[in-house]
């Protein structure tokens, strides 16, 4: 047991050493490592597919749901997708060294604030092999070492992927420990990562609300909370009804299992008699089940709210509809029951829009747009580690700059403080 | 007990309401509240002095050290100082609403990232009444509500100060609950604040290493770690000796009880025979006790290292001196034993300076300057909440912008995701 802990700390110490090398490596070298990863994944396709077949068989034996098995599955075309995602990540601009503030003090001291890598980033995530490759490339692109704890259902696939990526990193002249997995430490690994203050600089949990809650509660390492999305659309009395229908349908049905999918529609009472029946019909025609806590105009037999009441995150073809008295009530509802992820107002009233954008306390607030746009790719970030729903450090989609810290560099000529 | 907890949650809920009002208040109104605080403190001088006399008497009975009693003490001139500090804080530029990034997507969506207040900030700090006023004004200046847990030795003084400030805030038309103290909840208050996730958006512990350790371990609210400073000066073989003496003496002796004061001097072996005796003599002449773990050239009877070895933070007229083989060994030593606060290199070798600045992993890295410059006031921030020694969110001196979060505002014309 003591040996096991020593092994774990030795692994993290190797990550720290790798992080120091990455911190002084040029962007070209880190990008070359990412491009090498693309080639290595293509070259290792047979071994990756064999390991993935093992994982899938174990998953089927364990009765994994078909959606989870699909996320776990790799085939020839998905492996090509992993390689091309890596090549795309190698093209992203390098955030390291960017100057954020510069000033010269009256005494001649020159102060420069620059972006620097965090160092070692830990990520605890789901059984999705594509995320393994994304995270490794994003870490290299931002100059960080990364310690991965993927879902155990993907353990064999991840082991082969990490091995292939480590080879590529080493061939680019960087330490193979730049990317490491702690899957071999089993269930203990995640807990140890959370308590590795001083060895791990940032921890990003992705996945279920339970996992995120556990990490926030137990971790002594700084954490970025991601994910849960109880996302709202408020249909104001000055909304264009066709636009409201477009946005609600898109936000709810374009993809349901994602955090930026719509969960609750709030309708201004002044237009509820006309708007609710139209919204409900369009949603029902699209196969969506309506939930409510009171009778809705023109809706027969709405289902009750989910177990979480107005805070239920369905992630399925279900939506809650509520009627609110006015803009204030809508803002109050969103701030109270939402998860501060993404919320949109549909209205032609510029003042109502301004108040909603200012007073709704969410990572992303929208006017006349579908909530599905909250995404690193859509925002033009090229990649995302996750969507932060907390306020410290980063808020909303997290791309490469969000994986950097800063450092003040002070250059003097012998100045002392009077 | 349940009632007591209800009271506590009611207090934080009132802070949340106040934060929402502050979040939409104009900077002029928040600045007027700060200026009102200056006047209110002057007007309440007699009551403040009486309460402070009570606190001082309790402190003397409890055997408080004279340094702590001095930090607790208010007199007429210090009260004038509080008021003038508040007036200076009212002049600081408003960070709220600052646009950080803006882009228009090909589909016409307009994305703007703006600074927004955090909401409710909790601070746990020492028995220093001047900090109570600073924190209230800094919070108002950044649009945040603040919940204060000061050292119990200052409880009566803080109660009168907070009462006076609340009156001024109310007269400016803002909620008095913008600034609240939880001192009346006694020792439980700090623990509850740490567990108030969802009610408190950010927690800043200031004070002893034990307090900070406890907050980092127990808190489920995002924390900014501040403070501890095991600060180094590396005297390179290409250092100007007069400059090295100036910087070391200033960094060690100009003020010893502060986190940016020097704790360890590392000397390059190539110049140790000449530099160590000169440094030691100058320090000893200034009244500084030399500590070492091995014989030093020209130093008789150095004291042993402190209980923390090379990681000891003396905060007194004590300094550790060590000889290192080269620049690599110096960087390795600083990263291993330091606290990532502030470290300086003295050298005329530009390459050595570049490597030190790049590879030392600290909030502030300096070349040919005294570490005492790491300070919000010296950096031109006008005020500081503390000095962050962590890498997430803010690093180094924290002024008003560091007390803000961000928000993405997306403006559309009905865009949906294809």
Query: pLDDT tens digits, residue range B160-188?
Result: 999 999 999 999 999 999 999 999 998 88
Query: Quick one: CA dihedral A73, A79, A80, A83, positive or negative?
Result: positive
Give me the residues paired with residue A120 across strands: A145
Interchain CB distance below 8 Å, A372 and B247? no
CB A120 within 8 A of CB A15: yes
Yes or no: say if B321 and B305 are a contact pair by the CB < 8 Å rule: no
Is B222 an interface residue toward A (CB < 8 Å)? Answer: yes
| CATH code of A35's domain | 3.40.605.10
Q: Per-residue confidence at A145, pLDDT binned at 50, 70, 90?
A: very high
* CA atoms of A232 and B191, how far apart (whole Å): 33
In this complex, do A406 and B390 lie within 8 Å of one another by their Cβ atoms? no
B240, closest residue in chain A (CA to CA): A414
- Judged by CB atoms closer than 8 Å, whether chains meet at B373 and A406 is answered as no
Q: How close A344 comes to chain B (CA, Å)?
A: 9
pLDDT at A377: 86
Contacts of B133 (CB under 8 A, 6+ apart): B37, B41, B82, B85, B86, B161, B165
Residues in B closer than 8 angstroms to A249, CB to CB, are 416
How confident is the model over B235-244, as a mean pLDDT?
98
Question: β-pairing, A289-291 with B364-369?
Answer: unpaired
Inform me whether the pLDDT recorded for A80 exceeds 60. yes
State the average pLDDT over residues B351-361: 97
The predicted structure's pLDDT at residue B65: 87
Region A268-285: mean pLDDT is 97
pLDDT over 80 (residue B5) = no
How many angstroms separate the CA of residue A58 from the nearest CA in chain B?
36
Is the model's pLDDT at B3 over the cut of 60? no
Asked if B222 and B318 sit in the same domain, the reply is no
- How far is the alpha carbon of A160 from chain B, nearest alpha carbon, in Å? 32
A408 shares contact with chain B (CB less than 8 Å): yes
Mean pLDDT of A293-320: 93
When pLDDT is cut at 50, 70 and 90, the band that residue A95 belongs to is very high
Q: Evaluate whether residue B380 is within a structural domain.
A: no
Q: What average pLDDT does this structure show over B44-72?
A: 94
Return the structure tokens found at B263.
């704790």
> What is this model's ipTM?
0.92
What is the nearest CA distance from A186 to chain B, expressed in angstroms?
A: 24
Residue B390 in any domain: the answer is no
Q: Are residues B171 and B315 in the same domain?
A: no
Same domain, B199 and B238: no
* Domain at A334, CATH number: 3.40.309.10
Task: Identify whether B276 is part of a domain.
Answer: yes
Q: List the beta strands (DSSP E) in A182-301.
A: 202-205, 231-235, 262-268, 289-291
DSSP B93: P
Query: Of A224, A251, A416, which has the smallest distance from its Cβ to B247's Cβ?
Result: A416
A357 neighbourhood in chain B, CB within 8 Å: 409
Residue B64 predicted with pLDDT over 80: yes
Q: To the nearest whole number, what is the mean pLDDT of chain A?
A: 94
Residues 6 or more apart whose Cβ sits within 8 Å of residue A158: A129, A132, A148, A150, A181, A183
CA distance B47 to B158: 11
**Is residue A1 pLDDT above 50, yes or no?**
no
In a domain, B168, yes or no: yes
A96 pLDDT exceeds 90?
A: yes
Asked if B367 is an interface residue toward chain A (Cβ–Cβ < 8 A), one would say yes
Show residues of chain B in contact with A118, CB under 8 Å.
Answer: 391-392
* Cβ-proximal residues to B12 (8 Å cutoff; 6+ apart), any chain: B120, B147, B196, B199, B200
In this structure, the answer to whether residues A175 and A194 fall within a common structural domain is yes
| B277-304 mean pLDDT | 95
**Closest C-alpha among B127, B148, B152, B149 to residue B138:** B148
List, for residues A29-56, the tens digit of each pLDDT value. Answer: 999 999 999 999 999 999 999 999 999 9
Alpha-carbon gap: A73 to the closest alpha carbon of chain B (Å):
25
For residue A3, pLDDT over 60 is answered with: no
Residues A219 and A272 in one domain: no
Show the tokens assigned to B400: 């008003």
The Cα B279–Cα A298 span in angstroms is: 86
* β-strands B231-235, B396-398 pairing: unpaired
- Quick one: three-class SS letters along A23-52? HHCCHHHHHHHHHHHHHHHHHCHHHHHHHH
Residues of A in contact with B249 (CB under 8 A): 416
The answer to whether the CB of A87 falls within 8 A of the CB of A75 is: no
pLDDT over 70 (residue A94): yes
Q: Which two tokens stand for residue A190?
A: 């995640």
Say if residue B203 is in the same domain as residue B251: no
- The CB density around residue B208, as the number of other CB atoms within 10 Å, is 12
Instruction: Please state the rounded mean pLDDT for residues A368-394.
Output: 91
Contact A283, A319 (CB under 8 A): yes
A246: contact with B, CB 8 A cutoff: yes
B142 and B12, same structural domain? Answer: yes
DSSP state of A378: T
Chain-wide mean pLDDT for chain B? 94
pLDDT at A383: 77
Q: Are B31 and B170 in the same domain?
A: yes
Q: What is the mean pLDDT of residues B328-338?
A: 96
Give the residue from B154, B165, B152 showing the smallest Cα distance to B89: B165
**Does the pLDDT at position A267 exceed 50?**
yes
Which of A359, A367, A396 lies at the smallest CB-CB distance from B20? A359
Can you say whether residue A288 is alpha, beta or left, with left for phi > 0 and alpha for psi between -120 and 50 degrees? beta
Q: Which residues pair with A343 in a beta bridge?
A: A232, A365
Distance from the Cα of B267 to chain A's closest Cα (Å) equals: 17
Instruction: Please indicate, yes or no, whether residues A27 and A150 belong to a single structural domain of this protein.
Output: yes
Residue-range definition of the domain harbouring residue B329: 231-373
CA distance B393 to A185: 30
Pairing status of strand B396-398 against strand B386-388: antiparallel
Contact with chain A for residue B365, Cβ under 8 A? yes
Q: Which among B344, B361, B374 has the least Cβ separation from residue A119?
A: B361
Inter-chain CB proximity B392 and A216 less than 8 Å: no
Q: Please list every residue in chain B whose beta carbon sits closer than 8 Å to the beta carbon of residue A220.
A: 216-217
How buried is residue B167: exposed, middle or buried, by Cβ count under 10 Å (0-12/13-18/19+)?
middle
**Does a structural domain hold residue A205?**
yes
- Asked if A379 has any chain B CB less than 8 Å from its own CB, the reply is yes
- Note the pLDDT tens digit of each residue in A181-206: 999 998 889 999 999 998 999 999 98
B302 found inside a domain: yes
pLDDT tens figures, A363-373: 999 999 999 99
Whether residue B93 is contained in a domain is answered as yes
Q: With an 8 Å Cβ cutoff, are B250 and A408 in contact?
A: no
**What stretches of B217-341 adopt beta strand conformation (E)?**
231-235, 262-268, 289-291, 318-324
Predicted local confidence at residue B138, as pLDDT: 95
The kind and range of the H/E element at B181 are: strand B179-181
pLDDT beyond 70 at B4: no
> What's the DSSP call for residue B303?
B
Average pLDDT over residues B307-319: 93
Residue B386 forms part of a structural domain: no
Mean pLDDT in residue range B6-17: 94
Mean per-residue pLDDT for B339-350? Answer: 97
What percent of chain B is modeled with pLDDT above 90?
85
The answer to whether residue B15 neighbours chain A at the CB level (below 8 Å) is: no
What total number of domains does chain A contain? 2
- Tell me, yes or no, whether B48 and B66 share the same domain: yes
In this structure, are A162 and A246 located in the same domain?
Answer: no
- B222 and B85 in a single domain? The answer is yes
């Amino acid at each position: 047991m003591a040996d096991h802990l020593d092994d774990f700390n030795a692994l993290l110490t190797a990550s720290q050493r790798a992080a120091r090398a990455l911190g002084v490596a040029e962007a070209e070298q880190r990008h070359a490592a990412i491009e090498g990863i693309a080639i290595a994944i293509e070259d290792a396709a047979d071994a990756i597919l064999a390991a993935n077949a093992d994982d899938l068989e174990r998953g089927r034996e364990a009765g994994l749901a078909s959606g989870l098995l699909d996320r776990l599955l790799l085939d020839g075309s998905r492996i090509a997708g992993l390689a091309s995602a890596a090549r795309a990540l190698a093209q992203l601009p390098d955030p390291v060294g960017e100057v954020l503030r510069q000033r010269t003090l009256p005494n001649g001291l020159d102060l420069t604030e620059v972006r620097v890598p965090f160092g070692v980033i830990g990520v605890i995530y789901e059984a999705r092999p594509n995320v393994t490759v994304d995270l490794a490339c994003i870490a290299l692109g931002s100059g960080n070492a990364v310690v991965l704890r993927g879902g155990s259902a993907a353990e064999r696939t991840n082991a082969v992927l990490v091995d292939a990526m480590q080879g590529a990193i080493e061939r680019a002249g960087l330490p193979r420990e730049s990317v490491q997995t702690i899957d071999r430490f089993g269930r203990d690994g995640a807990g140890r990562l959370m308590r590795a203050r001083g060895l791990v600089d940032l921890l990003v949990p992705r996945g279920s609300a339970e996992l995120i809650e556990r990490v926030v509660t137990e971790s002594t390492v700084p954490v970025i909370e991601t994910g849960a999305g109880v996302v709202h659309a408020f249909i104001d009395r000055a909304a264009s009804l066709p636009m409201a229908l477009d946005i609600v349908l898109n936000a709810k049905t374009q993809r349901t299992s994602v955090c930026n999918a719509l969960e609750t529609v709030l309708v201004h009472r002044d237009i509820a008699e006309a708007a609710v029946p139209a919204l409900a019909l369009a949603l029902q025609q699209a196969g969506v089940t309506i939930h409510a806590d009171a009778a809705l105009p023109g809706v027969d037999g709405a289902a009750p709210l989910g177990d979480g009441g107005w805070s239920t995150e369905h992630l399925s073809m279900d939506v809650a509809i509520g009627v609110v008295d006015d803009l204030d009530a809508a803002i109050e509802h969103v701030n109270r029951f939402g998860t501060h992820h993404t919320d949109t107002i549909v209205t032609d009233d510029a003042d109502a829009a301004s108040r909603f954008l200012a007073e709704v306390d969410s990572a992303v607030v929208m006017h006349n747009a579908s909530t599905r746009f909250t995404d690193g790719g859509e925002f033009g970030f090229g990649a995302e580690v996750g969507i932060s729903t907390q306020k410290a450090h980063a808020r909303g989609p997290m791309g490469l700059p969000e994986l950097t810290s800063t450092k003040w560099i002070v250059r003097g000529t012998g100045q002392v403080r009077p």
